[in-house]
Structure 1
Amino acid sequence: MSAPILHEKDQGTGSPVLVFLHYFAGSLRSWAHVAEDLSRAYRCLEIDLPGFGRSPPLPAFSVDAVGGMIMQHIAGRRLGSYVIVGHSMGGKLALACAADPPPGLAGVVLVAPSPPSPEPMAESERARLLATHGDRASAEQTLRTITRRPISAASADICIADNLMTSAEAWHWWLAQGSRETITAQAERVACPVLVMGGSEDPVISPAVITAEVMPRLAGASRVEIAGAGHLLPFEAAKEVADNIRIFVKERCPAATMRGTS
């Protein structure tokens, strides 16, 4: 009864439904360009994760607790076939959701995902972030640091605003605990098709991290590297992200697509 309700945006029609989970210090708005493209053919459900955007924080956070909240939300929506798309923090949460195959899950797309092992982060950077929650100058510094391709002024404004909107509880949980959690056993149980995308110049989740810490945990996963892009792929490379999701769904989740059109 007291569980927080997750804020969402629901647009488009078609199956499988694409469920989007955003990055740390972001919100569902980070998927605006990708979802606008894909909603021409698919129903797109973008979610503000607990403590981010317009969703209230949980009483107690963990990767499993947040994953459970996401799955509770999805189950309540009765989506039929769906694909979870998770960016960065949302990627780790997507793996937690998919570990014990829930009904209807047709595939998972990981976009510059935080690995199922502890996320590599310089302790100086972790300390900087922990000490600067709600600080605009720090948010602007972070945006400059993690991007490699230019993004529009409007997109930059969204990134800064979402960073400043993040609850203190969610902020401190992810930096101090969630990013350090190990869910490798869960990741290795993921049985559905998986696509892993990354930016060739990503300073947060480098190609080397994906090679060493993500791909070995996911049997049969496919991989795409986007040249010249940094960490904020939904902003820096929205068309490439959308195109690769579209191809993945058509080629790796055909049964779900057929069910949606029958």
Structure 2
Amino acid sequence: MKRATLGPDDLLPAHHVPSPWPGREVRLDGTVTYVRDTPATASGAEPALYVHGLGGSSQNWTDLAGLLAHRLDGQAIDLPGFGRSEPGRRYTIPAFADRVVRWIEHSDRGPVHLFGNSLGGAVSVQVAALRPDLVRTLTLVSPALPFLDFRRSLQGRMLPLLAIPRGERLAAWRLAQLAPEVMAQQVMEACVADVTRISEQRRLEAIEEIRVRYEASHYAAAYVRTFRGLVSSFLRSYLPGSGSLWRLARTVQAPTLVVGGRQDRLVDVRVAPQTARMIPDSRLLMLDGVGHVAQLEVPRTVARAVLGLLDETEESAGRHDMAG
């Protein structure tokens, strides 16, 4: 593990708030996966894939993907049951990882620069570990890798829900009691350390995303079942066997950037440094005054760290070619 380096800020586009990138429905293995494209703005850009967190969507990556479009030809997917994708049969880390793998294979863009936030970070670790041929570099933003002290997470309040029969119905009822504007504000306050960093446009988009959730009858079940799958993966990671995310992290070959916010209220703040220690070729960036979604809260800083990773990887590949 080493400290992340930041690329020059002046290599990024001027400060702006891009509109959400165009989205489209793609039928994959019999169900619809929703994909947003962030077209490259320069020749030679390499393919990238962005994977959101629990309760999020592909829209969470709009700012970062836009800032990196001169280097990366981006796509962001909605995982099954989230955003505008149809529900899946299983809501586990391996099931989501299978969908990401299938999308990379279906789009024929691999290997990709793979990005994951929170749940998407855990999914991306599994993809990078089991299919190294599909991943050029790995960027993890507050990855939801295992921790057992749920007092360090606001999500701990949901644990009793997992023990209640038909907890999905209770979650759906609870969602129905909150106006989209109220829910959006609660989500922002949980995920972001300083909500003033979130533009009015992004706030309005978050409200619209929540309206979409309310119209999807499967959403509450998808959320609760995914949370249950995540907790199960945490517990398995501390037991003998091959299903441990920590053991998988040790096998990741791709050059990796790990970003964590010191004011993260959803994932134990010790997880990002531990992730960087586990992954052999890793760089760590810990950000003061930042919460769970650094790519939304401080996208320029995250983009600069990604540029540092890309530049270092290119230099290393150039030295290898010369030596060969």
Q: Which amino acid aligns with 2:32?
A: I
Against the structure 1 CA distance between its residues 253 and 25, is the aligned structure 2 distance closer, same or farther, given a 3 Å change threshold? farther
**What's the CA shift string for 1:171-210, capped at 9, x where partnerless?**
1122222244142232222111111001122222243232
Once the 2 structures are TM-superposed, how far is the Cα of residue 231 of structure 1 from its aligned partner? 1.2
5 Å matches for 1:61-76?
Answer: 61-76=91-106
- 5+ residue gaps, structure 1, are none
Partner residue, 2:68: 38
RMSD: 2.7
1:223 aligned residue: 284
> 1:138: Cα distance to partner?
4.2
Give the Cα–Cα distance (whole angstroms) in 1 for the partners of residues 292 and 96 of structure 2: 22
Question: What is the Cα deviation at residue 139 of structure 1?
Answer: 4.3
Q: Whole-Å Cα distance in 2 between the matches of residues 2 and 77 of structure 1?
A: 13
Q: TM-score, normalised by structure 1?
A: 0.86
SS in 2 for 1:103: helix
In the TM superposition, 1:1-262 aligns within 5 A as 2-13=29-40, 14-116=44-146, 120=150, 121=153, 123-127=156-160, 131=171, 132-133=174-175, 135=178, 136=180, 137-149=182-194, 150=196, 151-166=198-213, 167-182=219-234, 183-212=245-274, 214-254=275-315
Q: 2:45·2:69 contact (CA, 8 Å) conserved in 1?
A: no
Mapped partners of 1:63, 1:178: distance in 2:
7
Q: CA deviation at 1:165?
A: 3.5
- Structure 1 CA distance for aligned equivalents of residues 112 and 149 of structure 2: 27
Whether contact under 8 Å (2:60, 2:296) holds in the other structure is yes
Max Rg structure? 2
Aligned residue for 2:12?
none
- The residue type equivalent to 1:171 in the other structure is Y
Matched with 2:164 is none
Go from structure 1 to structure 2 and tell me whether the alpha carbon gap of 1:125 and 1:58 turns closer, same or farther (over 3 Å shift). closer
Distance 1:12 1:199 in 2: 28
Instruction: Give the fraction of aligned pairs with identical amino acids, expressed as a percent.
Output: 22
Counting matched residue pairs gives: 257
Rounded to whole Å, the distance in 2 between the matches of 1:75 and 1:215 is: 27
Distance verdict in 2 for CA 1:188–1:231, change over 3 Å: same
**Shift in Å at residue 6 of structure 1?**
1.5
How far residue 216 of structure 1 moved from its aligned partner, in angstroms, is: 3.5
Normalised to the residue count of structure 2, the TM-score between the two structures is 0.71
Could you tell me whether the CA contact under 8 Å between 1:117 and 1:181 is conserved in 2?
no
- Alignment partners' CA distance in 2, 1:24 and 1:47: 13
